[in-house]
Amino acid sequence: MPGRQWPLRPRRRPADAQGAARLRLAFCGQLLCVVPYEVAKARSHFRNEGVEVELVYIRGGNQAMQALAGGAVDYAGTSFDVALQAFANGAPIRRFA
């Protein structure tokens, strides 16, 4: 929506002992949704970028978006239509790929 300005930086949790930012990432807990996040975590891709990620398994994309809009998590891995609908309903979110 034109004129709306949302913060570019996510809400971050306190850094861990090594100084990595701690983030909670919610996503659909179905098999095909899980693989990319688990592989990235297992191969330390998040940590290599200075981010300690807590993966939060949620039943579906809509529930993940609700968790994001409600402040329970910092990021939500959802489909574009879920993000678009949430934004259209006034949720202060940003979509990136």
Question: Does residue 15 lie within any of the structural domains?
Answer: no
Domain contains 45: yes
Summary mean pLDDT of the chain: 80
Q: Tell me: the pLDDT tens digits for 48-75?
A: 999 999 999 998 888 999 999 889 999 9
Of residues 83 and 42, more confidently modeled: 42
**3 pLDDT higher than 70:** no
Cβ-proximal residues to 39 (8 Å cutoff; 6+ apart), any chain:
none
For residues 16 and 66, the answer to whether their CB atoms sit within 8 Å is no
pLDDT score recorded for residue 97: 58
CA dihedral 27, 30, 31, 35 (to 10 degrees): 0
The pLDDT tens digits of the residues spanning 12-25 come to: 455 555 677 899 99
Structural domain contains residue 9: no
User: What residues make up the domain containing 69?
Assistant: 21-88
In a domain, residue 53? The reply is: yes
Is 46 within a domain? Answer: yes
Whether 13 is covered by a domain: the verdict is no
Q: Domains in the chain: how many in total?
A: 1
**What is the pLDDT at residue 13?**
54
* pLDDT value at 5 more than 60: no
Predicted TM-score (pTM) of the model is: 0.69
